[in-house]
């Protein structure tokens, strides 16, 4: 603001920044340029934390992760045209994940009739967090940013209230309780909607009071700790396939849950769906009961029912026996693979060593194909909202943005929590230059690049060279191949962080120990694994309905 005679003036940029501040926006990620630079400068001056990134897509991923982790939207600031186009990836990903996000784009100049643009912020904040959360876009005309107006002529709307809490119909709650009581093979599925709703306390009570088996979805991990005795994650396929009653707490019946259809499920399985979004209810299946409302509130309603008439699922049932046996055999199979001494290492060996040293309260960020899928089964989560991954959209390139968001949050909250980002080598490539962002803000993120020289699978150096004898790489290299033996750790050392190239379990253990001990600096551990390594045999092919 500057004084112009008696009238104190503010710029459009300052008005925008103040409007955001009034809406409790605490974090802004973006890349500046004409006409939005002034907005970032003004926002930072008003106490909004500004994180400058290297690609709008990663900035947008980071802003949406802040929305998921805090329940208030993060802002992504971009220039018009290409900046906005890059941000579209992040907006789509946020929408698919149901995460709140506000993207602010600077557009070309317009007439001054658009002066009310900042009024859009309360609306943007509200529509990003009310109902099913998602992405919003606010377009700011260029001339508005540098416009000077009398400070007294600006009115800021009050901060928008947290979303109103809705509860399910009482009759539906009674019906749901009855269906659960009559279940022979019950299963609770805990999704990232439950994590977002902060429903951890209620859901845990329900699990423990009724002694029910539960299965977290990838980002539902940690709502109840993975090592809880009722967690049947290690018998996932079996639990889904034979359950007769399934309660879905904020998890959609999409590809991640195999659409809720046979052969992955019993044809007559009874679904009880808990969701805040009415349109979601009845997707792909005809549910036995639908509970429309906030998961936290609905869980409390269910608990009241079981308080009135206590009930427990018998711990000695054959269902529990089936699940326990399957868990045991699956865990033994993974351990067996992990203990293999051959080099290069396989996925299981890598993840077992990582799990051994993983701090309990860390954030785990992960993306890749096998890297993410196998990593998820071995790496444990103990806290809600501490796992971020490729998500509903299966987006590659989210990892570094998510890791930056989590690390910025841990820093702001002074929790000392570490962020471990487990990346496939291909996934790392999508946003690799954000390593510079990590080093610039000195975020003590540990990046693990699980390197198999390719997408799904790759070649070792010798086979690669051999192959090139038969022609140019564009003619002979399988499309899944990436350059073998790439030294991704040097991307980190280029910016002053620590880099490790590891080929053995001992080197992995040592580099991880050193990285964890250094609480101030980022590091990247490039872990060479067998280029042809795969998952252990699965009962079902992941993306299809068919048995293999
Ligand atoms: P996952 O990938 O873990 O299975 P999904 O993203 O498929 O999770 O499902 C999350 C669901 O949670 C969405 O359908 C969303 O509408 C819902 N949801 C988000 N927040 C809440 C809330 N506070 N109460 C109830 N449902 C919610
Ligand atoms: Mg790979």
Give the per-residue pLDDT at 118: 58
pLDDT grade for 117, boundaries at 50, 70 and 90: very low
CA of 487 to the centre of ligand 2 (A): 13
CA of 295 to the centre of ligand 1 (A): 9
CA of 368 to the centre of ligand 2 (A): 7
Give the per-residue pLDDT at 110: 67
The yes-or-no verdict on residue 466 having pLDDT over 70 is yes
pLDDT grade for 121, boundaries at 50, 70 and 90: confident
Round to whole Å and give the CA distance between 506 and 512. 10
Calculate ∠ Cα 464-467-469, nearest 5°.
120
Give the per-residue pLDDT at 104: 96
What's the pTM value of the predicted model, to 2 decimals?
0.95
Determine if ligand 1 sits within 6 Å of the CB of residue 276. Answer: yes
User: Which atom of ligand 1 is the closest one to the Cα of 199?
Assistant: 23
Q: What tokens does 275 get?
A: 């969701």
The yes-or-no verdict on residue 116 having pLDDT over 70 is no
Calculate ∠ Cα 61-440-92, nearest 5°.
10
Ligand having the closest approach to the CA of 385: 1
Determine if ligand 1 sits within 6 Å of the CB of residue 98. Answer: yes
Give the per-residue pLDDT at 109: 78
Instruction: Give the pLDDT mean for 360-370.
Output: 97
**pLDDT, tens digit (0-9, with 9 covering 90-100), for 286-339:** 999 999 999 999 999 999 999 999 999 999 999 999 999 999 999 999 999 999
Ligand having the closest approach to the CA of 191: 1
CA of 276 to the centre of ligand 1 (A): 7
**pLDDT, tens digit (0-9, with 9 covering 90-100), for 166-192:** 999 999 999 999 999 999 999 999 999
Ligand having the closest approach to the CA of 195: 1
Give the per-residue pLDDT at 537: 78
DSSP state of 407: H
Least confident of 64-78, 214-228, 251-265, 529-543: 529-543
Q: Which of the pair, 153 or 3, is modelled with greater confidence?
A: 153
Give the per-residue pLDDT at 4: 54
CA of 258 to the centre of ligand 2 (A): 24
Q: Is 59 within 8 Å of 91 (Cβ atoms)?
A: no
CA of 482 to the centre of ligand 2 (A): 8
Give the per-residue pLDDT at 538: 78
Instruction: Give the pLDDT mean for 363-371.
Output: 97
CA of 452 to the centre of ligand 2 (A): 5
Round to whole Å and give the CA distance between 521 and 518. 6
Determine if ligand 1 sits within 6 Å of the CB of residue 390. Answer: no
Give the per-residue pLDDT at 123: 84
Helix H or strand E encompassing 484: none
The yes-or-no verdict on residue 114 having pLDDT over 70 is no
User: For atom 24 of ligand 1, which residue has the closest CA?
Assistant: 294
Average pLDDT, the chain: 94
Instruction: Give the pLDDT mean for 78-91.
Output: 95
Give the per-residue pLDDT at 11: 95
User: For atom 21 of ligand 1, which residue has the closest CA?
Assistant: 193
Residue 198: left if φ>0, alpha if ψ -120 to 50, beta else—which one? left
Q: What tokens does 303 get?
A: 């608990």
The yes-or-no verdict on residue 458 having pLDDT over 90 is yes
383 phi and psi, to 5 degrees? -125, 145
Percent of the chain residues past pLDDT 90, beyond the cut: 90
Give the per-residue pLDDT at 111: 58
The yes-or-no verdict on residue 547 having pLDDT over 50 is no
User: For atom 19 of ligand 1, which residue has the closest CA?
Assistant: 193
User: Which atom of ligand 1 is the closest one to the Cα of 193?
Assistant: 12
**pLDDT, tens digit (0-9, with 9 covering 90-100), for 382-407:** 999 999 999 999 999 999 999 999 99
User: Which atom of ligand 1 is the closest one to the Cα of 277?
Assistant: 16
In this structure, the chain runs to a length of: 548
Ligand having the closest approach to the CA of 481: 2
pLDDT grade for 127, boundaries at 50, 70 and 90: very high
pLDDT grade for 90, boundaries at 50, 70 and 90: very high
Round to whole Å and give the CA distance between 27 and 501. 34
Peptide bond into 415 cis (omega under 30): no
Q: To the nearest 10°, the Cα dihedral for 470, 473, 479, 485?
A: 100
Q: What tokens does 282 get?
A: 């009845």
DSSP state of 164: P
């Amino acid at each position: 603001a500057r004084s112009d005679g008696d009238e104190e003036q503010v710029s459009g940029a300052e008005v925008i920044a103040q409007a955001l501040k009034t809406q409790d926006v605490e974090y802004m990620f973006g890349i500046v340029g004409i006409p939005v630079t002034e907005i970032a400068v003004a926002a930072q001056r008003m106490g909004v934390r500004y994180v400058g990134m290297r690609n709008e897509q990663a900035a947008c991923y980071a802003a949406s992760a802040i929305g998921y982790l805090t329940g208030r939207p993060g802002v992504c600031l971009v220039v018009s045209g290409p900046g906005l186009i890059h941000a579209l990836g992040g907006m789509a990903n946020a929408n698919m994940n149901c995460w709140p996000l506000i993207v602010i784009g600077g557009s070309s100049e317009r007439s001054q009739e658009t002066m009310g643009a900042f009024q859009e912020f309360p609306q943007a904040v509200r529509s990003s967090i009310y109902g099913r959360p998602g992405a919003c876009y606010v377009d700011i005309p260029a001339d508005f940013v540098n416009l000077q107006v009398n400070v007294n002529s600006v009115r800021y709307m009050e901060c928008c209230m947290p979303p109103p809490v809705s509860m399910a119909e009482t009759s539906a709650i009674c019906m749901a309780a009855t269906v659960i009581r009559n279940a022979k093979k019950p299963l609770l599925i805990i999704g990232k909607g439950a994590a977002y709703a902060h429903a951890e306390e209620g859901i845990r009570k329900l699990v423990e009071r009724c002694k029910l088996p539960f299965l977290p979805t990838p980002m539902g991990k940690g709502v109840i700790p993975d090592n809880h005795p009722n967690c049947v994650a290690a018998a996932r396929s079996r639990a889904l396939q034979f359950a007769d009653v399934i309660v879905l707490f904020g998890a959609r019946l999409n590809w991640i849950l195999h659409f809720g259809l046979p052969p992955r499920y019993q044809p007559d399985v009874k679904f009880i769906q808990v969701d805040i979004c009415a349109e979601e209810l009845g997707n792909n299946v005809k549910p036995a009961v639908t509970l429309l409302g906030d998961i936290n509130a609905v869980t409390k309603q269910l608990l009241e029912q079981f308080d009135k008439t206590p009930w427990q699922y018998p711990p000695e049932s054959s269902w529990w026996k089936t699940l326990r046996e399957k868990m045991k055999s699956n865990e033994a199979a993974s351990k067996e693979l992990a203990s293999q001494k051959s080099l290069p290492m396989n996925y299981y060996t890598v993840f077992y060593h990582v799990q051994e040293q993983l701090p309990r309260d860390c954030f785990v960020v992960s993306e890749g194909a096998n890297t993410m899928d196998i990593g998820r089964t071995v790496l444990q989560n103990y806290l809600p909202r501490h796992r971020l991954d490729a998500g509903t959209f299966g987006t590659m390139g989210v990892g570094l943005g998510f890791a930056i968001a989590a690390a910025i949050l841990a820093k702001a909250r002074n929790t000392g929590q570490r962020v471990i980002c487990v990346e496939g080598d291909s996934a790392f490539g999508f946003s690799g230059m954000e390593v510079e962002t990590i080093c610039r803000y000195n975020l003590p993120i540990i990046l693990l690049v699980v390197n198999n020289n390719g997408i799904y699978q790759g070649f070792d150096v010798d086979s690669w060279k051999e192959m090139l004898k038969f022609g140019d790489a564009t003619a002979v290299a399988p499309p899944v191949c990436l350059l073998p033996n790439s030294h991704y750790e040097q991307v980190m050392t280029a910016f002053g962080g620590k880099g490790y190239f590891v080929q053995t379990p001992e080197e992995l253990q040592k580099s991880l120990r050193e990285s964890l001990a250094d609480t101030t600096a980022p590091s990247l551990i490039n872990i060479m694994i067998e280029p042809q390594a795969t998952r252990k045999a699965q009962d079902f092919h992941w993306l299809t309905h068919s048995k293999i």
